Amino acid sequence: MTDTLPRASSAAGPTDRPTPSLPARAAGAFADLDLLGVAELLPAAERARLGVLHDLLQAQVRRPSVGYWNREEFAADLLPVLAGAGLGGLQLEPVSALFRGLVHAEVARADLSLSTVVGVHNELVVGLIAALGSPEQRRELLPRLATMELLGAFALTEPEHGSDVAGGLATTARREGAHWVLDGAKRWIGLATVADFAVVWARDVADGQVGAFLVETGRPGFRAELIRNKIGLRIMPNADVTLDGVRVPERNRLPGAVGFAAVNTVLRHSRAWVGWQAVGLQLAALDVARAYALDRQQFGRPLAAFQLVQHSLARMAGNAASSLGLMVQVARLQDAGSLEMGHAALVKATCTAHARETVALGRGLLGGNGMTTDYEMAKLFGDAEAMYTYEGTQEVNQLIVGRALTGVSAFA
């Protein structure tokens, strides 16, 4: 999409190894990993801005993120970098869907956890409030969200209801005068321990209808407990959330969020966003693997000179290019307003499967060095596993595609 990453692939911190001096390599857009010339499809202003974002993210996010990942620590110090680049209000900008997608890919290319922060913030919080919130909610929240002065969490998944949350959602909302009382539990809620508020989906006990409520995280009865010891997405703070008689005023209810169809409107685009994450993660793996293959000497010559190594690199590039091609078409559908859930499920399932294979090839290419985050590939390998599961498991997304193809539901 833009120039390649810097060729060093060491972790951030005092133990950084020096940047290796690599032999000359092929030049041109393909070698710079704009594998399909996609940047040329953007207007000149968007193309220039994408290049600036790439350079910024590689210089100020990529390497520092490794230390946070190793410590399983939220990278709060990097939020001003993201906010300063305008990534807090990306969803509100009048830009093409292709540009927005490529930006998400570039953030993922620097770090998948922080790209999840940017994606959840934009796709599931900012976009939701902009589309379904009241005029007062939009006026009060969107300007502060756009600068990341405020952070929101999206609380849908529950401890006993993940894939079946559409029919099984158990968190309840009970109307008491001018307030609502929320009871229940949520799981895997990103940013819940650091967010200012959570968008909580709950079922009205009066009519069984699902709705969404803005719940400030400091309210009595709201508790978020960090989920630790994850193998991937270690910078993103996921949490178990408990709602015990949490009272919120009627003005905190999102008036446009009526029924689970409102959830699907949001999830359709957020699943497509994960496809862009998969593109970025694969480009990062290809960056790391190629740099390593050019620098690492075995049997008196660089690894890049061996046929099996080039075969692995080519397979990785093919996966990345296939994913990128799919996502370019998805962006066209989004701009045309014709993206369907089947499209979103197809690219989420396909691109994350490609990413899983791509990072496995990259990890194997690095040999024993692929087992440590000092060479970055182990970080990418772990993050791919997380991405493969969130926003709907591989199996459920495939069944959504099957339902779209046949008209017959095999799961609900």
Question: Distance between CA atoms of 298 and 292, rounded to whole angstroms?
Answer: 12
Alpha helices in 19-96 (DSSP H): 44-57, 63-71, 79-84
pLDDT digits (tens, 9 = 90+) for 258-275: 887 777 777 788 889 999
Domain limit, last residue, from 224, 240, 258: 258
Tokens in use for 20?
């290796």
Do 287 and 326 fall within a single domain? yes
**Max Cα-Cα span within the chain:** 79
CATH number of the domain bearing residue 208 = 2.40.110.10
pLDDT digits (tens, 9 = 90+) for 90-149: 999 999 999 999 999 999 999 999 999 999 999 899 999 999 999 999 999 999 999 999
pLDDT of amino acid 28:
57
Alpha helices in 182-340 (DSSP H): 260-295, 307-336
**Which amino acid is residue 93, in one-letter code?**
E
Q: Which residue range is the domain that position 80 belongs to? A: 38-108+263-406
pLDDT band at 30 (very low <50, low <70, confident <90, very high): low
pLDDT of amino acid 31:
53
Do 291 and 235 fall within a single domain? no
Is the per-residue pLDDT at 12 higher than 50? no
CATH number of the domain bearing residue 66 = 1.20.140.10
Question: Distance between CA atoms of 265 and 254, rounded to whole angstroms?
Answer: 14
Specify whether the backbone of 139 is left (phi greater than 0), alpha (psi in -120 to 50) or beta. Answer: alpha
Is the per-residue pLDDT at 19 higher than 70? no
Tell me the percentage of the chain whose pLDDT exceeds 70: 91
Residue 9 in any domain: the answer is: no
Do 319 and 197 fall within a single domain? no
pLDDT of amino acid 393:
84
pLDDT of amino acid 206:
95
Domain limit, last residue, from 221, 238, 258: 258
Residue 2 in any domain: the answer is: no
Domain limit, last residue, from 225, 241, 258: 258
Question: Distance between CA atoms of 115 and 280, rounded to whole angstroms?
Answer: 9
DSSP 391: S
Question: Distance between CA atoms of 291 and 368, rounded to whole angstroms?
Answer: 16
Question: Distance between CA atoms of 74 and 105, rounded to whole angstroms?
Answer: 20
pLDDT of amino acid 20:
39
Question: Distance between CA atoms of 100 and 64, rounded to whole angstroms?
Answer: 24
Do 300 and 366 fall within a single domain? yes
Tallying the residues shown for the chain, one arrives at 412
Q: Provide φ and ψ at 238, rounded to 5°.
A: -85, 150
Cα radius of gyration rounded to whole Å, the chain: 21
pLDDT of amino acid 262:
77
Do 270 and 365 fall within a single domain? yes
Cβ atoms 300, 230 nearer than 8 A = no
Overall domain count for the chain: 2
Q: Pairing mode, if any, of strands 172-176 and 197-204?
A: parallel
Cβ atoms 125, 294 nearer than 8 A = no
Do 91 and 160 fall within a single domain? no
Average pLDDT estimate for 366-373: 96
Is the per-residue pLDDT at 74 higher than 50? yes
Do 170 and 218 fall within a single domain? yes
Is the per-residue pLDDT at 8 higher than 70? no
Do 220 and 315 fall within a single domain? no
Average pLDDT estimate for 1-19: 40
pLDDT of amino acid 391:
84
Is the per-residue pLDDT at 7 higher than 60? no
Residue 331 in any domain: the answer is: yes
Is the per-residue pLDDT at 249 higher than 50? yes
| Of residues 127, 85, 89, 130, the one with CA closest to residue 110 | 85
Average pLDDT estimate for 147-175: 89
Q: Which of 158-167, 170-179, 208-217 is predicted least confidently?
A: 158-167
pLDDT band at 1 (very low <50, low <70, confident <90, very high): low
Report the chain's mean pLDDT, rounded to a whole number. Answer: 90
Average pLDDT estimate for 60-84: 97
| Of residues 283, 210, 211, the one with CA closest to residue 4 | 283
Cβ atoms 170, 161 nearer than 8 A = yes
Is the per-residue pLDDT at 89 higher than 90? yes
Residue 301 in any domain: the answer is: yes
Q: Compute the C-alpha angle 404/162/358, nearest 5°.
A: 70
Residue 137 in any domain: the answer is: no
